[in-house]
Amino acid sequence: MFSRSAAIIPQCSQQVRGMATLKMISIRLKSVKNIQKITQSMKMVSAAKYTKAERELKLARPYGIGAQEFYKKAEVKDEEGEKGQLIIAVSSDRGLCGAVHSSIGRIVKTDIAANPNTKVVIVGDKVRNILQRLYAKNIAMVVTEVGRKPAVFGDAALVAQSIINSGIEFSKGKILFNAFRTVVSFRTTEMPLYSQNAVANASKLPVYDSLDSDVIQSYTEFSLASLLFYSMKENATSEQSSRMTAMDNASKNAGEMIDKLTMTFNRTRQAVITRELIEIISGAAALETKN
């Protein structure tokens, strides 16, 4: 009697183990399918936003290109002195877009390590999360609620006005952002940023007539807003294209995982059925032998 029960217990445990494995695979398969639906929906939303962002970027490029050309023609150079460096890092508040934010954070970390006297103005919450733990003292200002809606020139003007009102002094500055290249690629780019004194001391500035201090101040403020608007549009387009690519890759990976889990589920179910048939046939054979 003892030997029979000892022989039956492993078979029951194997059957229960097989059913538990099937249930676990079924739950995981269902969750992966739900994740695939989410990533496919996010890809479609990002594709629509990317189309709109690319169209708006073409209209915003003259703002940034025009301001940069003026600095080049006037031969504006960095101001001499030890006022420090100013970096404006343009990102957004939203993730799931590849290395869009981490690439900017990595460059900012390198610049701070090279020049500790660096102040950082962060546009977007993601880069703030990257820098806050080690370089919180270098963060001068953070602008949030960016990336949820398409940026307009008024948003860039508010950011520029906040930077000017903060009274941050610098002898060298730059704007970091991701420049859009193609649907599947972007390039982390920096644009030079000059203070009002640097513009006023430009070697070829006297070529332009009627440039007093008020005009230079007004143009410096407008050029800062123009450069920010241009960089925000470039970064938004890069972000949407990168998110679209990331969600497409995630959907493909989910599809591959679904295929593997389905195959594992079928094999496990077939093994359970085969084992049950063997037990039934063995039991029937044992009864026939006994009779």
Is pTM beyond 0.85 here?
A: no
pLDDT at 142 over 70: yes
pLDDT at 32 over 90: yes
Identify whether 276 is part of a domain. Answer: no
Identify whether 290 is part of a domain. Answer: no
Identify whether 67 is part of a domain. Answer: yes
CATH number, domain with residue 141: 3.40.1380.10
**Structural domain tally of the chain?**
1
Identify whether 137 is part of a domain. Answer: yes
Identify whether 164 is part of a domain. Answer: yes
Give burial (CB, 10 Å; 0-12/13-18/19+) of 54.
middle
Residues linked to residue 191 through DSSP beta bridges, in sequence order: 175
pLDDT at 206 over 90: no
Q: Average pLDDT, stretch 194-200?
A: 88
Q: What is the pLDDT of residues 57-115, one digit of tens each?
A: 999 999 999 989 988 888 888 888 788 899 999 999 988 898 999 999 999 999 999 99
Contacts 24+ apart (CB under 8 A), 155-161: 155/229, 155/232, 156/225, 156/226, 156/228, 156/229, 156/232, 157/225, 157/229, 159/123, 159/225, 159/228, 160/221, 160/224, 160/225, 160/228, 161/221, 161/225
Identify whether 43 is part of a domain. Answer: no
Contact 230, 60 (CB under 8 A): yes
Identify whether 193 is part of a domain. Answer: yes
Cα gap 178→175, rounded to integer Å: 10
The pLDDT of residue 291: 66
Identify whether 8 is part of a domain. Answer: no
Domain range enclosing 211: 60-243
